[in-house]
Amino acid sequence: MNNFWKAVIVLSAFIAAAQCLTCRQCPLGVFGACFFGSDVTCNNATESCYTGQAQFNATGTLTLDTRGCLDSDLCEKTLTGTILGAGYTSSFQCCTVDRCNGATSVQLSLTAALCAALLSSMWGLWA
């Protein structure tokens, strides 16, 4: 009977953790820089974190980035439409792990640090 209660407690912890997905939220980002970013806990109906991009057809080079919580029905989809007569295309990439849609600047910094460490260790071999 003791093992039964342990199993119930562990199962309850997994269910609670699954219902509390934490995502990086970014209402507006340009060129990979997020403005007004924060972490947000998704509601129970939202199953995924997302990274979204919207590109306006008239500019071609300007891409707006967003991040946050999203219903999985919109994941991996591309949508088109118009805002004030300007056409746009938006796409959403999803993931289901806490903060998996983190800011690209953090990822780039980590990559730069690893490259610097690798180069410095190689420099020591050549010197």
Q: What is the mean pLDDT of residues 35-41?
A: 89
Q: Which of 29, 28, 40, 23 is nearest to 97 (CA)?
A: 23
The predicted pLDDT at position 123 comes to 55
Domains parsed from the chain with CATH numbers: 2-126 (2.10.60.10)
Q: In 19-103, which ranges are continuous DSSP H helix?
A: none
Length of the chain: 127
The predicted pLDDT at position 59 comes to 66
Whole-prediction pTM value? 0.61
The pLDDT-based confidence of 119 (bands split at 50, 70, 90) is: low
Q: What is the mean pLDDT of residues 29-34?
A: 82
